[in-house]
Amino acid sequence: MQDPPPPPRRLTDITWVVGAGTALWFIAWAALLVAHLAGGRPLDVWFGATLAGWVLGLVGYAIFRWQRSAARRGARTAQNAVE
């Protein structure tokens, strides 16, 4: 029996996946901010949720980069790089 083909690199590359997700959260946050400034839409829970999604995406990516650089340096406590 043959193994299934691996998924496309763009779906497994963490940089692309986290970057795209973070960009989508930012676009949603910016759209809600524009709707508030232009149309008087109140800043409600959706505004806070999109802001949190954007900020957590940035923090998660920063931690990922930090761990990857530690693994490349050979730090003993770093997680193993998957590359």
Rounded Cα distance, 44 and 2, in Å = 52
In a domain, 53, yes or no: yes
Q: What pLDDT does residue 79 have?
A: 63
Q: Is residue 15 part of a domain?
A: yes
Calpha distance 26→28 (Å, rounded): 5
What confidence score (pLDDT) does residue 22 get? 95
Q: What is the pLDDT of residue 11?
A: 78
| Number of domains the chain is built from | 1
pTM, to two decimals: 0.74
Predicted pLDDT of residue 78:
66
| Domain enclosing residue 37, as ranges | 10-71
Q: Which parts of the chain have pLDDT scores under 70?
A: 78-83
Find all residues with CB under 8 Å of 14, minimum gap 6, and list them.
Answer: 64
What per-residue confidence (pLDDT) applies to 15?
A: 86
Q: What six digits make up the tokens of 5?
A: 């083909």
Residue 71's pLDDT is what?
79
Nearest C-alpha neighbor of 23 from the set 69, 73, 48, 58 = 58
What burial class does residue 25 get, using C-beta atoms within 10 Å of its C-beta: 0-12 exposed, 13-18 middle, 19+ buried?
buried
pLDDT digit string (tens) for 50-59?
999 999 999 9
Query: Considering the domain boundaries, does residue 16 fall inside one?
Result: yes
Is residue 54, in this structure, part of any structural domain at all?
yes
